[in-house]
A and B are shown apart, each in its own frame.
Chain A
Amino acid sequence: MVKEIDRAGIPVTHICTVVPISLTIGANRIVPAVGIPYPLGDPTKGEKKSHEIREHLVTRALKALTVPVDKQTVFEEDF
């Protein structure tokens, strides 16, 4: 699905839990998520901390949309 969105000219960030799969299928902007049962947040760390993690990841994923890339790029750190 990511590729078809990219193909249509709409930038897309793939927030995913298994980065190697994302790389294999050909996503271009990738943000690694926390874990399979909770990609955005970590409920084991309490609601406040979980929300904070989600905020960081979503913000990073949105900023990744503004970064010109010419190859598959994994955005590992906040920037």
Chain B
Amino acid sequence: MIESPWPEISFEDRIGTASFNVHHTAHIVVDGKVCADCSTRECIVACPANLFVPTSDGGILFNYEQCFECGTCYMVCNREGAITWNYPEGGYGVVFKRT
């Protein structure tokens, strides 16, 4: 495959270019019990904000803070009840500037 000729920035730096007005409660809730026996884990590769992180004990760690509110995760997830998806409270969440 093609190799990048210049170093890519870290994901933290990448996501840091977008602004987020973080609310104190999570707008998306992931039920780790449902994820525990999921072997496909589409969310990990598909979430553009890389919010789904596999844990060593076979679970999924989910962070809601830097979420684009796009909806990819609940659309690709094939486990009923794993993801409870809502928009954040009005005024909170991602704020785009140059898109």
Do A and B interact with each other, yes or no? no
